[in-house]
Amino acid sequence: MKLHPLAVAVLALTFSAAHADALSPTEQKIVAEVKAHAPQGLELLERSVNINSGTMNHDGVRAVGKLFGEQFAQLGFATRWSDMPTAMQRAGHLIATREGKQGKRLLLIGHLDTVFEKDSAVQLWQRNGDRVRGQGVNDMKGGDVIIVEALRALQRVGALDNTSITIVFSGDEENAGEPIAISRADMVNAAKRSDIALAFEATVRDKSGRDTGTVGRRSSSSWELKVSGKQGHSSGIFSESAGYGAIYEAARILDGFRQQVIEPDLTFSPGLIVGGTDATTNPAGTTGQAAGKSNVIARSATVEGDLRYLTYEQRDRAHATMKAIVAQNLPGTSASISFHDAYPPMSPTAGNLAVLKVYSQASQDAGLGEIPALPPGQRGAGDIQFVAPLLDSLDGLGATGNGAHSPDEDLEIASIERATIRTAILLYRLTR
């Protein structure tokens, strides 16, 4: 049945009024401020995207930091730039703070850098109707703008007064400086003074097209497998005296991983393998060299791999099983495996789900729909994982787009307003 246009209009007005009733008068003013200044937010996004800020373009990262720092200063935040030691070869971070005694103490997390370095051929800013393409437009300068515009809406209605909010925009999220203990010290210290952390990486939609919230993210860690065998004539392979050689042993171990280690939300990927009479990789595990002959049994093999897990218990199970497989050596071979943790896991705790519930209610009250939890296995590593073990956390509050880290990275312009409305109401409710 097709409704008369007048009936459609009445239904729309009824729907709008119902959601207006779910928001307090102050919250209704906040939403109005977000909508009235949406063009200003898009202009800020364009300005930031038109500054190349690849992680290793330190001047560009600082320039974007200056741009956002100016916005926070206008909102009454105390801002500073936190430099990293020269040897770390990273630009540093933008820190903005305001102190109050009302409601929850919040930590808002974004990042200034992108994967597109200064020599990138990817265009800076290109608007195509209701979408925008450009370097870091959704990962994550769109999320940075959402933070600014949500706070600006609160400030215009007097709702920032007496709140305690810390903002950390890192300059090296895409390639974190080492050692992590130094590069993430500002963020960790801010978390210790906060009650809830909110991060603004891009919003991911589920299969039904709904925006989601991220209550868990898997760790990022690595492993290195080293295998030794007896060098000799290939005609003797499999014999008791010659054994199986390093390459067969490496293959056995990797296939053992494939068959015995798999469980939900756990992945382990061999990304680089070298083997032969001589085989080495560089300290970073990104390149390798090998030499050998088809008629010589391989003496050495090295495999560099990735391991991602959701909890430390899951990590420990994987480590134990992998070590046991490595120890069951074929005749004439030996092997060892070592592990290196980088990003800790963000486990989907009850506290994280409680924050998502408040966020989802804010979205529903604003007429923007329920926000379900994204399955944790669908997100990679992010900055919030360095603080998630310390306090309740929620990620994925940013803009919606496609093709992150690719020449086709884009953003749906309308998603900035939606996310800003949700965020502003969430911040208002958490800080009452």
pLDDT at 20: 57
Please give the structure tokens belonging to residue 43. Answer: 């202009």
Q: CA 84, CA 363: separation in Å to the nearest integer?
A: 38
How long is the chain? 432
Convert 81-98 to b/e letters by CB count within 10 Å (16 or more is b): ebebeeebebbbbbbbbb
Which residue's structure tokens are 């409305």?
421
pTM comes to 0.87
Convert 137-173 to b/e letters by CB count within 10 Å (16 or more is b): bbbbbbbbbbbbbbbbbbbbbebbeebbbbbbbbbbb
Please give the structure tokens belonging to residue 330. Answer: 């074929």
CB neighbourhood size of 69 (10 A): 20
Which neighbouring-strand residues pair with 303? 225, 273
- Per-residue CA distances from 262 to 81, 256, 257, 381 (Å): 43, 10, 8, 19
Q: CA 186, CA 192: separation in Å to the nearest integer?
A: 10
Phi, psi of 215 (to 5 degrees): -100, -5
pLDDT at 381: 86
Answer for the pair 408, 139: CB distance below 8 angstroms, yes or no.
no
Q: CA 193, CA 390: separation in Å to the nearest integer?
A: 10
| DSSP state for residue 347 in the 8-state scheme | -
The beta strands (E) that lie in 277-355 are given as 278-281, 288-291, 300-308, 334-343
Answer for the pair 249, 229: CB distance below 8 angstroms, yes or no.
yes
Among residues 194, 186, 142, the alpha carbon closest in space to that of 165 is found at 194
Q: Residue 140, preceding bond cis, omega within 30 degrees?
A: yes
pLDDT at 161: 96
| H/E segment holding residue 189 | helix 185-192
Three-state SS at 87: helix
pLDDT at 40: 97
**Per-residue pLDDT tens digits of the chain, which is 432 residues long:** 334 444 434 434 444 444 557 999 999 999 999 999 999 999 999 999 999 999 999 999 999 999 999 999 999 999 999 999 999 999 999 999 999 999 999 999 999 999 999 999 999 999 999 999 999 999 999 999 999 999 999 999 999 999 999 999 999 999 999 999 999 999 999 999 999 999 999 999 999 999 999 999 999 899 999 999 999 999 999 999 999 999 999 999 999 999 999 999 999 999 999 999 999 999 888 899 999 999 999 999 999 999 999 999 999 999 999 999 999 999 999 999 999 998 999 999 999 999 999 999 999 999 999 999 999 888 888 999 999 999 999 999 999 999 999 999 999 999 999 999 999 999 999 999
DSSP string, 246-261: HHHHHHHHHHHHHHHT
Q: CA 412, CA 162: separation in Å to the nearest integer?
A: 34
